[in-house]
């Protein structure tokens, strides 16, 4: 069976590399429901949850037929531009936890999940964090780092501000990376080697048997991550 992922397909360098890893890239649809710089970002427009359920911004209709064919139970969520109204789907769901800001995410009862909720103050939770698995994380956000550490998670805090996102002063590390579970590889959309914490990231990943890879000929860029389906 083909490996499918939903991704901002404007940057061909990224989709080319994903295809080399064996993925078929399904493009996001440019959306007016969120701020223009993130209008193609999968990590704000889609949330894959438990029990074959997927939440989608109501502005995204290009992939509905495909997702239904794949057997997904789809629930549309209304997003609007602005911090508190475009972060509704921007949470992390792991094997054991739901990590989110309850004040900016959608109604958690919609998840119908029994997983432990870890509350954070950052609305762009998924954007700010790399979730390698249910116990290992990399984040730029001090609050997320603090809350995950309190829960006994293995978490690396890195400096923020070294990721490009046109329209903003900087982007997020979570949106500039994707963990390819089948390949046990953390792939960065751009040259992470110039990041001041690159060596710490490599060591952190090596200690949990994860390989780091990156696209050398582009600056580290927040493309909105990848949603695997």
DSSP for 193-218 reads GGSTTHHHHHHHHHHTT-EEEE-TTS
The whole-model pTM stands at 0.96
pLDDT in tens, 140-167: 999 999 999 999 999 999 999 999 999 9
Helix (H, G, I), strand (E, B) or coil at 163: coil
Confidence check: pLDDT of 1 > 70: no
pLDDT in tens, 50-59: 999 999 999 9
Confidence check: pLDDT of 89 > 70: yes
**β-strands 23-27, 129-131 pairing:** unpaired
What pLDDT does residue 81 have? 96
The answer to whether the Cα torsion of 14, 210, 228, 24 is positive or negative is positive
Tokens representing 128?
């700010």
Q: Which helix (H) or strand (E) holds 223?
A: none
Residue 52 has what DSSP assignment?
T
Contact 130, 138 (CB under 8 A): yes
Q: Which of 114, 90, 113 is nearest to 102 (CA)?
A: 90
Mean pLDDT within 64-75: 95
CA 11 to chain centre: 16
- Give dist(CA 207, CA 25) in Å, integer: 30
Q: Which helix (H) or strand (E) holds 140?
A: none
CB atoms within 10 A of CB 11: 17
Confidence band for 2, pLDDT divided at 50, 70 and 90: confident
């Amino acid at each position: 069976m083909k490996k499918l992922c939903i991704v901002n397909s404007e940057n061909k360098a990224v989709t080319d590399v994903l295809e080399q890893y064996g993925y078929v890239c399904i493009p996001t649809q440019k959306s007016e429901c969120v701020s223009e710089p993130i209008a193609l970002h999968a990590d704000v427009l889609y949330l894959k949850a438990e029990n074959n359920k997927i939440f989608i911004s109501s502005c995204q209709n290009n992939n509905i037929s495909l997702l239904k064919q794949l057997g997904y139970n789809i629930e549309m969520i209304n997003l609007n531009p602005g911090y508190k109204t475009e972060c509704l789907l921007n949470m992390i769901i792991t094997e054991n936890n739901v990590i989110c800001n309850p004040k900016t995410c959608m109604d958690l009862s919609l998840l119908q999940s029994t997983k432990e909720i870890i509350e954070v103050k950052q609305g762009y939770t998924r954007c700010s964090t790399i979730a390698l698995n249910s116990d290992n994380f990399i984040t730029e956000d001090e609050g997320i780092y603090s809350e995950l550490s309190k829960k006994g998670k293995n978490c690396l805090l890195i400096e923020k501000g070294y990721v490009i996102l046109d329209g903003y002063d900087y982007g997020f590390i979570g949106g500039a990376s994707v963990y390819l579970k089948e390949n046990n590889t953390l792939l960065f959309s751009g040259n992470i080697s110039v990041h001041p914490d690159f060596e710490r990231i490599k060591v952190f990943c090596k200690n949990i048997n994860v390989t780091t890879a990156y696209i050398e000929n582009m600056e580290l860029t927040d493309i909105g991550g990848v949603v695997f389906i």
